[in-house]
Structure 1
Amino acid sequence: MRFERIFEDLEGRFAHHEREEMRAVSEDLARAERAQLSLGDRLRGAGGRTLTLHLGSVLRLEGVVEDVGEGWVALHEEGGGRRTVVPLTAIALLEGLPVRARPAEESLRSPLGLGSVLRTIARDRGVVRLETTAGGVMGRLATVGADAVDVRSLPTGESGTVPGSARITVAMDALLAVRPR
């Protein structure tokens, strides 16, 4: 009887240690998997959810995640009904981002880069407001290069070129958001 209790106790301890070791290994694997997720992966997992993005120290955007590409996210801003494109590098803080993620390999869309999205906006010839680290610029995107965007500014918001409009170059690194008008 005594040996049976000793063996039962040892078996219980062994089973407990096995469960604890499995739990520790699975936690390590989960941490390693989360460490490989990018902000873009997490934003893809937030598709259709409302998020608040803090860009720089003064600009705050709230909207539903519409699309995520290579280095950018498109939000459908509430209230304005606009599709705003935001470079991922401009995002300082996020509110409402879920823990779940969706890696780019699982996405049905091709991962277009920020330049491709901006060239599409330039082709549409629509008036946009570029939010930059130096302030806002209203105009039409004229050309989109590898690391800079040329804007034909419209200082008073007119729909056509007017006296006083200028061609302004904005470095992609300074770009916070592109908002259609």
Structure 2
Amino acid sequence: MRWDALFRDMEAQLAAAAGLAAETEISDRVRMELREISLQDRLRSQSGKQLVFDLGTAGMLRGTLRHVGEGWVSLEQERGAALAVLSQVVAVRGMDRFASPTTGKVRLGVTSALRSIARDRSAVVVRSAGAPADGALHGTIDRVGSDFLELAVVPSDQPRRSANVTGVYVLPTATVAAVLSQQHNGWA
């Protein structure tokens, strides 16, 4: 009888050790899989959700997530659209815990998205990283190079005409936090 108790105790200890080993292996696998998930993977699964992007001193962007590109997202806002550069995002609120795996699709980079906006000749507001949101520049993106954009600054209530241009700024794309459309329908 004493041996039965001894064997039951040994079996219980072995079962507990096996259970602990399985839990440890599962936790290790989850951690390994998680390290392969990027912010873009997480954002792709949030399409159509209302999100808030904190851009630090450049302000907040609120809207419905529409597109996720390589290093950027576009949001549909109440009064237009916004493009946020992910390298300038401090935090995102409103996301669930899911992620979409990377697909074989070619994703447009930030400069490609900016070139599309430039071709559209949309009136925009450009918020720069490290600058307050109320210091944003209003105008039209005239040209986009490999790592910069040229913004013709125009008063927000004026159309883009050469007589209305008050200055031309060359902005490194690395300093652009967000580009917002000034049109109600935007480009989202």
TM-score, normalised to structure 1's length? 0.89
Question: Does the aligned pair in 2 maintain the 1:55–1:176 contact within 8 Å?
Answer: yes
Partner of 1:33: 33
* Alignment partner of 1:87 is 2:82: no
Give the drift of 1:57: 2.2
Residues 93-142 of structure 1: CA deviation (Å, up to 9, x unaligned) = 2212222211322x7x4311111111111111111111113431111111
Unaligned runs of 5+ in 2: 183-188
Q: 1:156 to 1:52 in 2, by over 3 A?
A: closer
Equivalent-residue separation in structure 2 for 1:104 and 1:83 (angstroms): 25
CA contact (8 A) 1:154 1:162 kept: no
Given candidates 101, 104, 116, the residue that maps to 1:120 is 116
CA contact (8 A) 2:124 2:179 kept: yes
Distance (Å, rounded) in 1 between the aligned partners of 2:74 and 2:156: 26
Other structure's SS at 2:57 match: coil
Deviates most, 142-151 or 45-54: 45-54
**3-state SS of paired residue (1:57):** helix
- The aligned counterpart of 1:180 is 181
Alpha-carbon spacing, 1:52–1:156, altered in 2? closer, same or farther (3 Å):
closer
Between the aligned partners of 1:156 and 1:162, the Cα distance in structure 2 is: 14
Cα–Cα, structure 1 residues 25 and 54, in superposed 2: closer, same or farther, change >3 Å? same
Q: What pairs up with 1:67-78 in 2 under 5 angstroms?
A: 67-77=67-77
Aligned-pair Cα RMSD in Å: 1.7
2-side partners of 1:47 and 1:139: how far apart?
29
- 1:138 equivalent in alignment to 2:138: yes
2:128 partner amino acid: T
Name the TM-score, length of structure 2 as normaliser.
Answer: 0.86
Q: Secondary structure at the match of 2:136?
A: strand
Q: Which has the higher contact order (CA 8 A, sep 6+)?
A: 2
Q: CA deviation at 1:151?
A: 1.2
- Report if aligned partners of 2:124, 2:140 keep a CA contact under 8 Å in 1: yes
| Alpha-carbon distance change, 121 to 93 in structure 1, aligned in 2, over 3 angstroms | same
Structure 1 stretches of 4+ with a deviation exceeding 4 A read: none
- CA–CA distance in 2 between the matches of 1:112 and 1:162? 31
SS at match of 1:75: strand
CA distance in 2, matches of 1:70, 1:35: 18
For residues 103 and 157 of structure 1, the distance between their equivalents in structure 2, rounded to whole angstroms, comes to 43
Aligned to 1:53: 53
Contact 2:139–2:156 (Cα < 8 Å) also in 1: no
The secondary structure found in structure 2 opposite 1:149 is: strand
Taking the aligned partners of 1:156 and 1:72, their CA distance within structure 2 comes to 25
Q: Percent identity, aligned pairs only?
A: 29
